[in-house]
Amino acid sequence: MTAAAIASPTPSPTPVIRVTGLCTRFGTTTIHENLDLDVRRGEILGLVGGSGTGKTVLLREMMLLQTPSAGRIEILGMDATRLHGQRLQALRQRMGVLFQQGALFTGLTVRQNISMVIREHARLDRELCNELAGVKIGLAGLPADAADKYPDTLSGGMIKRAALARALALDPELLFLDEPTSGLDPISTTAFDDRIATLRDLLGLTVIMITHDPESLRRATDRVAFLAHRRVWALDTMDALLESTDDTTRAYFQGVQRAHHG
Ligand SMILES: Nc1ncnc2c1ncn2[C@@H]1O[C@H](COP(=O)(O)OP(=O)(O)OP(=O)(O)O)[C@@H](O)[C@H]1O
């Protein structure tokens, strides 16, 4: 027998996020029922599904901002549903988030917006926090002179990047993006997606991204989780999902493609 024949298969690496048996109910409405999802370290995972299928709620549950009705969420090896107090806070700090609105404080410059987050969590003097904020601004792909501008003087694409810089403020291991490129033109969207891929490579981030944009899904993601019928209905590469023979999956992705191409 050859060595290859007796070698055991490579074990799949432990996921950085493992969701099992997740249920989410609001009153009598069930949004998720026995939903399972594994997120691999270092991947960019797209999260898609029809309106109201619970993408944002699932994202919030994985970020420990919302408690599911039932089920288990393991994050970075910890049973997150059992964490409280300081340990919960410490785990949250290992995650960065960019919500759809990007909400920056309009009365603060870009640098102040970011440095404020660093100062809240680290015992560093103001000057060092400002310097660190400058590093994040560069990582997000903003020109240095954007640092001292106020958000309402920036373009839509630059605001997204400023919000990205803030999401990177605490050196997260997990980055959650809720429709990060909504409202951006195709060129800015491509540039933003490329930046996310670069940051993943550079910083070893794991990225979970909700988006409706099929071009972004194809370009930026390693795998896509498709939510339907209250669970993760399909999980595969975008190319594989586009060729799926399953009726629900095919109908969704064909609809998304049609909507995108007008
Ligand atoms: N706190 C809440 N209380 C009651 N219902 C809620 C709450 N949060 C979300 N929902 C409901 O849960 C469902 C899923 O919401 P969610 O925002 O996750 O959908 P989504 O898949 O992100 O949709 P979209 O693509 O339209 O943004 C919706 O019907 C929403 O109204």
Max Cα distance, the chain (Å): 71
To the nearest 10°, report the CA torsion of 21, 25, 31, 35.
0
| Ligand 1 lined by 51 (C-beta under 6 Å) | yes
Mean pLDDT (the chain) is 90
Ligand 1 atom 28: the closest Cα is on which residue? 52
Query: Which residue, chain included where needed, has tokens 């009153």?
Result: 27
Ligand 1 atom 25: the closest Cα is on which residue? 51
From 55, 60, 65, 69, mutation site for ligand 1 pocket: most ligand atoms within 8 A of C-beta: 55
Please tell me the distance between residue 58's alpha carbon and the centre of ligand 1 in angstroms. 9
Residue 156 pLDDT: 87
Q: What residues contact residue 261 under an 8 Å CB cut-off, 6+ apart?
A: none
Tokens of 216: 């972004």
Residue 5 pLDDT: 44
Rounded Cα–Cα distance for residues 57 and 64 (Å): 10
Task: Per residue of the chain (262 residues), give pLDDT as tens.
Answer: 444 444 455 555 779 999 999 999 999 999 999 999 999 999 999 999 999 999 999 999 999 999 999 999 999 999 998 888 889 999 999 999 998 766 789 899 999 999 999 988 887 888 898 999 999 999 999 998 999 999 999 988 899 999 999 999 999 999 999 999 888 899 999 999 999 999 999 999 999 999 989 899 999 999 999 999 999 999 999 999 999 999 999 999 988 887 777 6
- Give me the interface pTM, i.e. the ipTM: 0.97
pTM more than 0.80 = yes
Ligand 1 atom 3: the closest Cα is on which residue? 26
Ligand 1 atom 13: the closest Cα is on which residue? 52
User: What number does the ligand 1 atom closest to the CA of 66 have?
Assistant: 1
